[in-house]
Amino acid sequence: MTCELCDRTGGELLWQGERCRVIYVEEPGYPGFCRVVWESHVKEMTDLSDDDRMHFMEVVFAVEAVLREHLDPEKINLACLGNAVPHLHWHVIPRYADDPHFPQPIWGKSQRTAAASRVHPDTAMLAGEIAAALD
């Protein structure tokens, strides 16, 4: 079996823990989009132990808090899907009223082109803030 989240980091590494990692997703129109990826190949949240599951969520919410504090989004979207890549990962997506799909989910119908003024944040800053929250 090959799995892209077993074989590769999946994006720029912002934080590496023993059980999961945080990566930056350079998606056009979506500044601040991060993923939290479980290290081992597990399919569902309820396949994890209680302790692992709550740790994973604490990391997701730490990332949410950093993104809210530094990027001031209109809304945070959280999703754990994995239909195509059944290796647990959370999408943590800052949403803005002028982003390409708002108020639709980012997987929905495009509503507009990305605003040129929305640029990707300093990922070293994000990495530092996530480390400060988690380490």
Residues of this chain that bind its own copies (CB under 8 A): 43-46, 53-54, 57, 61, 64-65, 68, 74-84, 86, 95, 102-105, 107-108
- Which of 21, 64 has the CB closer to its own copies? 64
- Which of 68, 120 has the CB closer to its own copies? 68
In the complex, minimum distance from the CB of residue 74 to its own copies, in angstroms, rounded to a whole number: 8
In the complex, minimum distance from the CB of residue 105 to its own copies, in angstroms, rounded to a whole number: 4
At residue 43's C-alpha, the angle toward residues 92 and 67, to 5°, is 10
In the complex, minimum distance from the CB of residue 25 to its own copies, in angstroms, rounded to a whole number: 15
- Which of 82, 121 has the CB closer to its own copies? 82
Edge-first strand listing for the sheet containing 20-24: 12-16, 20-24, 34-38, 89-95
- Which of 83, 117 has the CB closer to its own copies? 83
Q: How far is CA 32 from CA 39, 64, 84, 109, 114, in A?
A: 21, 10, 23, 21, 14
- How many Å apart are CA 11 and CA 34, to the nearest integer? 9
In the complex, minimum distance from the CB of residue 114 to its own copies, in angstroms, rounded to a whole number: 16
26 Cβ contact partners less than 8 Å away, ≥ 6 residues apart: 11, 12, 33, 120
